[in-house]
């Protein structure tokens, strides 16, 4: 049973060339400086289907809650806002990256350290769910 769960997780983590609607790649979390209980997560999401969908929420056993945030940068001013969804057009690709859209992990029970990995469950507008393992890294 455990082995089955492990294999399933591995399969999801590897993001193989399966029929998933949305494939998630390069998921990572920035190690929070000074052991702060918040961290940002980034990734690339590719919608391999011909149906538009959207990321609508995310959760993790490591965090009390996760918000989706957008960031805009104009004239040297940064504005960050919570958003309800990240649209994923049919065949489209959306990058969550530093300085832009990202997931905000809040209330981390144990501040993650570089080398750890954090499980994320992503929920999409079509009702599908994707489990992703995000590696914790230092830096930019």
Partner 1 sequence: MKKWASVQRGLCVLTCGMALLSCASDSSDEAAVRVEPTVELPRDVPPLKDYGGIGGSFELQDQRGEVFRLQQLEGRPAMLFFGYTYCPDICPVTLSKMAAVYRLLDLQPTDLQTIFITVDPERDTKEKLAEYLAYFQIGALGLTGTPDKIDAVVRQYGGYYTLNKQEESADYFADHSTYTYLIDQQGQVRFLFRHGDSPEYMAAVSRQLF
Residues lying near partner 1 in the complex (CB under 8 A) are found at 30, 32-36, 38-40, 69, 71, 73, 76-80, 98-99, 102, 104, 106, 138-140
CB 118, CB 103: distance < 8 Å: no
Per the structure block, which two tokens stand in for 43?
A: 């990734």
Q: Is 91 helix (H, G, I), strand (E, B) or coil?
A: coil
Nearer to partner 1 (CB atom), residue 13 or residue 137: 137
Cβ neighbours, 10 Å, residue 121: 15
**In the complex, least distance from residue 69 CB atom to partner 1, rounded to whole angstroms:** 8
Nearer to partner 1 (CB atom), residue 61 or residue 75: 75
**In the complex, least distance from residue 61 CB atom to partner 1, rounded to whole angstroms:** 19
**In the complex, least distance from residue 109 CB atom to partner 1, rounded to whole angstroms:** 15
CB 46, CB 26: distance < 8 Å: no
Nearer to partner 1 (CB atom), residue 40 or residue 56: 40
- Enumerate the β-bridge partners of residue 93: 46
Nearer to partner 1 (CB atom), residue 17 or residue 77: 77
Going by DSSP bridges, is the β-strand pair 22-30/129-137 parallel, antiparallel, or unpaired?
parallel
CB 52, CB 41: distance < 8 Å: no
**In the complex, least distance from residue 120 CB atom to partner 1, rounded to whole angstroms:** 15
């Amino acid at each position: 049973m455990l082995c089955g769960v492990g294999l399933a997780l591995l399969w999801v983590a590897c993001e193989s060339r399966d029929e998933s609607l949305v494939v998630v790649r390069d998921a990572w979390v920035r190690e929070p400086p000074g052991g702060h209980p918040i961290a940002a997560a980034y990734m690339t999401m590719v919608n391999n289907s011909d149906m538009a969908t959207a990321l609508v929420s995310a959760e993790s056993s490591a965090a009390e809650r996760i918000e989706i945030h957008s960031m805009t940068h104009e004239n040297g001013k940064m504005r960050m806002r919570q958003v309800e969804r990240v649209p994923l057009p049919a065949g489209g690709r959306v990058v969550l990256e530093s300085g832009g859209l990202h997931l905000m992990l809040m209330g981390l029970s144990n501040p993650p350290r570089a080398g750890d990995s954090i499980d994320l469950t992503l929920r999409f507008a079509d009702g599908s769910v994707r489990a992703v393992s995000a590696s914790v890294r230092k830096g930019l």
